[in-house]
Amino acid sequence: MTKYEEFLVEKGLFITAILSIIVIILIIGFIFQQGFPAMEHVGILKFIFGMNWSPSDDQYGVFTMIIGSLGITALSLLFAVPLSLCCAIFLAELAPRTVRRILKPVIETLAGIPSVVYGFFGLIVLVPIMRVYFGGTGFSMLAASLILTVMVLPTIISISEDALRSIPVEYKEASLALGATHWQTIRNVIFPAAIPGIITAIILGMGRAIGETLAVIMVAGNVAQIPNSIFDPVRALTSNIALEMGYATGIHYSALFATGIVLFIMIIILLIIANYFHYKKKVVIGGGYL
């Protein structure tokens, strides 16, 4: 009886695990199948490196949007990473219990706010401010990045805080016992040991930033052009799909799926790079690594 149960649970778990992989493979297969006609129609290189996106003239080039997506993501990580690491270190090492008790739920609430609310806030508040202080229309890469910064903060903060907390307390004790100050201990012992976890946090934050659609549509201006400065409007790959999917037919429809393929490949490349760093920075202790 127990043996039978054991078998059932084991196989059941296996099927569940496999199921998620099957679903992903099906989705990938579907996107490629749908997107391929457009790639074929335009030519893969022309599709990826084309500078013109104008479906009504049969022009499909997504290079401007690749730049747009990368630009917005990079800029928002540039803002979010230092901010959230400082916050995580504070929460993990320095914050008194009461402060932590208030701060932690507040940060987690940030993650629960729907992206349309962030987007609307950006449209009503941030964009006019940008226009007044930096000129132009206000719809800009910077506006999108700032909104995304707020959106990825909770992800990076909570995961890197967990990473910092998971460092064995002996490390800290040993460092302090050697006469290092608290700050020296944080900087030279705790932080370096937590780097793999922190990289994971940044990867997840990056994933959220590059995949965010609605908030970006509302503040980025959605102009398919290579921006000259961070104050110029841009269009992200995700926005391109969401903007036009409602209307598209034929090759245009397929081109939007092809945009999805490009986005997918881009994310995989970024993940590989990030995982490489994760692997290189891992800290070996005794038998395993953190």
Positions touching another protein (CB under 8 A) are: 54-57, 123-124, 127-128, 131, 136-139, 217-218, 221-225, 233, 235, 242-244, 246-249, 252
Q: How far is the CB of 40 from another protein (least distance, A)?
A: 21
Question: What distance in Å separates the CA atoms of residue 41 and residue 205, rounded to the nearest whole number?
Answer: 35
Q: How far is the CB of 10 from another protein (least distance, A)?
A: 20
Output 91 or 218, the one with its CB closest to another protein: 218
Output 24 or 51, the one with its CB closest to another protein: 51
Q: How far is the CB of 255 from another protein (least distance, A)?
A: 11
CB 62 within 8 A of CB 69: no
Q: How far is the CB of 188 from another protein (least distance, A)?
A: 44
Return the C-alpha torsion angle 183, 186, 192, 196, nearest 10: -140
Output 162 or 244, the one with its CB closest to another protein: 244
Output 139 or 191, the one with its CB closest to another protein: 139
Tell me how far CA of residue 221 lies from CA of 32, 51, 56, 141, 250, in angstroms: 28, 17, 20, 8, 26
22-43 core/surface letters (b: 16 or more CB in 10 A; e: else): eeeeeeeeebeebbebbbebbe
CB 60 within 8 A of CB 250: no
Tell me how far CA of residue 25 lies from CA of 20, 21, 111, 254, in angstroms: 9, 6, 28, 19
Output 16 or 98, the one with its CB closest to another protein: 16
Looking up tokens 């908030």, which residue turns up?
215
Q: How far is the CB of 250 from another protein (least distance, A)?
A: 9
